[in-house]
């Protein structure tokens, strides 16, 4: 019973981060979800530098790791699903690291601090781990419909990641595109969580 409940942590994490980012944004005067990165909420010198990792990164890292562990336990030694579980755990660890080492307040700085460099590398690990995971599901024994959904989720995430990169150069809606790209993967994660939980 306890194991099946832990399978819901992927779904809980998706709800948690949605509420957490919204709440942190409320305590950051003039914060714009369309034009600013999520990480700017915890950036050095931001009004929510301490609050954001406390309500977002640290509890989310735990939820991601718990969900990854439950996926591995549920996999019954199936290699693909086991790898997906480990990737989710890696995503959780990256979430912790990104929260502990804040980015610089100015995302366009030419000379990022060491903390910002570590944050950026952790962000890259987070990005890749939750992008590779749904792609691996394409080769799993999970339901055909979910495998198609996984591929579509990864495609949407990649497309809006590309849009975000362009928006960063143009200094436009990078926050909006980051959120669409990341939440496409989070919705995939929540769906996987519900799918595995319903099968127990």
pLDDT given for residue 4 in this prediction: 82
Q: Which is nearest to 37 in space by CA: 114, 102, 131?
A: 102
Domain of 57, in residue numbers: 5-199
Angstrom distance (rounded) from CA 65 to CA 78: 19
Q: Give the per-residue pLDDT at 9.
A: 97
What was the pLDDT predicted at 28?
97
Predicted local confidence at residue 34, as pLDDT: 96
Sign of CA dihedral 122, 99, 41, 8: positive
Q: What's 42's DSSP letter?
A: G
Domain count, the chain: 1
Residues in the chain predicted with pLDDT less than 50, given as ranges, are 1
Q: What is the pTM of this model?
A: 0.95
Half-sphere exposure of 124 (CA within 13 A, CB side): 6
């Amino acid at each position: 019973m306890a194991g099946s409940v832990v399978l819901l942590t992927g779904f809980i994490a998706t709800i948690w981060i949605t509420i957490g980012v919204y709440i942190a944004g409320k305590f950051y005067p003039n914060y714009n979800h369309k034009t600013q990165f999520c990480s700017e909420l915890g950036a050095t010198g931001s009004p929510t530098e301490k609050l954001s990792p406390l309500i977002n990164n640290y509890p989310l890292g735990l939820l991601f790791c718990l969900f990854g562990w439950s996926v591995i336990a549920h996999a019954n030694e199936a290699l693909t699903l086991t790898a997906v579980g480990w990737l989710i755990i890696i995503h959780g660890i990256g979430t912790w690291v990104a929260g502990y080492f804040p980015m610089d307040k100015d995302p366009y700085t030419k000379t990022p601090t060491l903390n910002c460099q570590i944050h950026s590398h952790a962000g890259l690990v987070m990005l890749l781990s939750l992008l590779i995971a749904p792609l691996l599901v394409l080769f799993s024994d999970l339901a055909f419909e979910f495998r198609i959904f996984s591929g579509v989720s990864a495609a949407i995430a990649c497309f809006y990641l590309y849009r975000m990169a362009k928006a960063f150069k143009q200094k436009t809606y990078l926050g909006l595109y980051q959120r669409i790209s990341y939440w496409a993967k989070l919705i995939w994660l929540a769906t996987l969580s519900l799918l595995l939980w319903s099968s127990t």
